[in-house]
Amino acid sequence: MLSRTILLLCLTLAGCGLRENADLLLLNGRIITVDDKNPNAEAIAVRDGRIIEVGKNETIRSKYVASRSEDLQGASVFPGFIDAHLHMNSLGRLLLELDLTGTASYDEILKLVEAKVKSSPKNEWIFGRGWDQNDWAVKEFPTAEKLNACSGNYYVMLKRVDGHAILVNQKVLDAAGITRNTPDPAGGYIIRDKNGNPTGVLVDNATSLLTKIIPIPTREDDSLALELAMESCLKAGLTSVHDAGVGPRKIELYKSMSKRGNLTTRIYAMLDGSNQALIDEYFQKERDTTHVDNFLKITSVKLYADGALGSRGAALLEPYSDDSQNSGLAVTDPDRIQKITERALENGYQVCTHAIGDRGNRMTLDAYEKALLRTNMYGINKRLRIEHAQVANEFDIPRFAKLGVIASVQPTHCTSDMYWAEARVGPKRILGAYAWQRFIHSGAILCNGSDAPVESNNPLWGFYAAITRQDQQGYPEGGWFPDQKMNVMQALKGFTINAAYASFDEELKGSIEKGKLADLVVLDKDITSIEPKEILKTSVILTIVGGKILYRKTP
């Protein structure tokens, strides 16, 4: 009798319209869930930072009452975008320093430096980033001679767009004690004139010769850079990022901000593997447990196998087609990559290794394979990663899937490099460059990122590059090596569920499903169904992290 009474009471309350509480309802949307079981929906209910239901408008309206509702009026909703490879501090600092991105000549850079000199206190350092000699009429490394003339009594350090080469003036060379007698360090070199004198450009590990003289940023400087980077990410629709190579100071900053609840972008931080003391510290203790609301995760290590293609530092199996005496640089000994990978595997850490050239990729795969065998983990998918995987030999591409190695790629690198990449590697090797479909067809998992600030952190630009292999002016017609384009869902998954998989978070985010974090981005267009050129005109309307609207486009 009692159970019947309870049943009647429940039916009566239901008939009276009793609804569950929610914190946020998104209604009247075009929702692309990236959930193969339920690919489309109209509405979402959120409570306590999690998605509690995804479905039709009438279902969500009738079942939930919320303190806040958003009528999306047909706008498109996607899982919050995840950038699987960028550099948060460098992104933030680019917003504080000289931005040389897109400069068309060395003279243009000199004018920017000259203007900065006039507005800066004497004897200060002037930092900048973004120059690329491949964009100039004369595609050669600059020299410090003209820079000396316009920089006066200032220390000037200008990073190449990829961060793998630095131009400095004579004042910096003198302070660092770099002369014609300074030997090239292992894994790097000093560009010299015909008499052996440094020209002002240092490549890859040679940039470490400057470490001892560069002023250490204050905690306030680092905090400001991070704030600016997070603000930029939210505006771009990024709710999570993989920060590729973070040193002790930044790690402590991230922990502090996470504990105080001040992170607005979720960060998967890769420990700087060049800092032996740092990785020793982490390998000797339990995996980091300082995560607050899933905003910070420190369970991976970043290594470098080689340099960059643009500065001819990427390690190739055969010499560069446009530099017959140069095969690039192995910036880390393969034995070290293997040994660190072994220790990482034994301690539950992921390894993410920068490898751009075909030799760099092969030596990394070899090191991974040996480490997996030595730790008795061969055949177990440990989700080791290769960052960039730009030029791979045809025999090595299938090894990614065989070893369970994720190819972490940056689509806009392809469209930035396509003008000169074939000159670097020739017509045969170019077939293994930015070869996304070859990786996918071999069974490899691809995740997408930007490598910001090398490229823009705008994932819509990355999505466009992935599906068109064209620049933003539509060149070349049909796309560069168009057979390697990603389709729209491959590109979308690369910035969502595959990127989540690459950080072991696919059960937490990367798709719009019940129980997952309410990390969402609302766009004014459906990028999966419009003409590619319209993607470049698409705007982020809302960025939602943990159910909170942290960015709203102003009218």
Residue 1 sits in a domain of what CATH number?
A: 2.30.40.10
Q: Is 495 domain-assigned?
A: no
DSSP state of 337: H
The confidence score (pLDDT) of residue 139 equals 87
Paired residues of 168 in beta bridges: 157
* Bridge partner list, 540: 523
**Does residue 503 belong to any structural domain of this protein?**
no
List all residues 6 or more positions away from 149 whose beta carbon is below 8 Å from its beta carbon: none
69 and 95 assigned to the same domain? no
Report yes or no: 163 and 205 within 8 Å, Cβ to Cβ.
no
Q: Does the global pTM surpass 0.75?
A: yes
Residues 404 and 382 sit within 8 Å (Cβ to Cβ): yes
Residue at 554 is within a domain: yes
472 within some domain: yes
Co-location of 223 and 95 in the same domain: no
Q: Residues 477, 357: one domain?
A: yes
Give CA–CA dist 5/11, Å, rounded: 10
Do 291 and 148 fall within a single domain? no
Contact 185/208 with Cβ under 8 angstroms? yes
Are 328 and 447 found together in one domain? Answer: yes
Cβ atoms of residues 401 and 389 within 8 Å: no
Residue 197 lies in a domain: yes
Give the whole-angstrom CA distance, residue 462 versus residue 468: 10
Last residue of a domain, one of 300, 331, 347: 300
Torsion on CA atoms 109, 111, 114, 118, rounded to nearest 10:
-130
Q: Of 184, 210, 236, which marks where a domain is finished? A: 210
pLDDT digits (tens), the chain, 555 positions? 445 544 444 444 444 468 999 999 999 999 999 999 999 999 999 999 999 999 999 999 999 999 999 999 999 999 999 999 999 999 999 988 999 998 999 999 999 999 988 887 776 899 999 999 988 988 899 999 999 999 888 999 999 988 889 999 999 999 999 999 999 999 899 999 999 999 999 999 999 999 999 999 999 999 999 999 999 999 999 999 999 999 999 999 999 999 999 999 999 999 999 999 999 999 987 665 556 569 999 999 999 999 999 999 999 999 999 999 999 999 999 999 999 999 999 999 999 999 999 999 999 999 999 999 999 999 999 999 999 999 999 999 999 999 999 999 999 999 999 999 999 999 999 999 999 999 999 999 999 999 999 999 999 999 999 999 999 999 999 999 999 999 999 999 999 999 999 999 999 999 999 999 999 999 999 999 999 999 999 999 999 999 999 999 998
Q: How many CB atoms lie within 10 A of CB 306?
A: 29
Domain residue limits at 418 = 305-486
Question: Does 435 share its domain with 459?
Answer: yes
Helices 334-346/358-374 angle, 10° precision: 40
CATH number at 359 reads 3.20.20.140
**In this structure, how many other beta carbons lie within 10 angstroms of the beta carbon of residue 118?**
8
Task: Report how many domains make up the chain.
Answer: 4
Same domain, 53 and 199: no
In this structure, the answer to whether residues 402 and 544 fall within a common structural domain is no
Q: Whole-angstrom Cα distance, residue 190 to residue 140?
A: 15
Residues 174 and 289 in one domain: no
Which residues on adjacent β-strands are paired with residue 269? 243
b vs e for 201-221, b when ≥16 Cβ sit within 10 Å of the residue's Cβ? bbbbbbbebbeeeeeebeeee
Cα dihedral 85, 88, 91, 95 in deg (nearest 10): 160
Q: Can you give the pLDDT at residue 422? A: 98
Token code pair at residue 533 = 């050129």
Would 136 be classed as within a structural domain? Answer: yes
Last residue of a domain, one of 300, 317, 343: 300
Asked whether residue 63 falls in the same domain as residue 117, the answer is: no
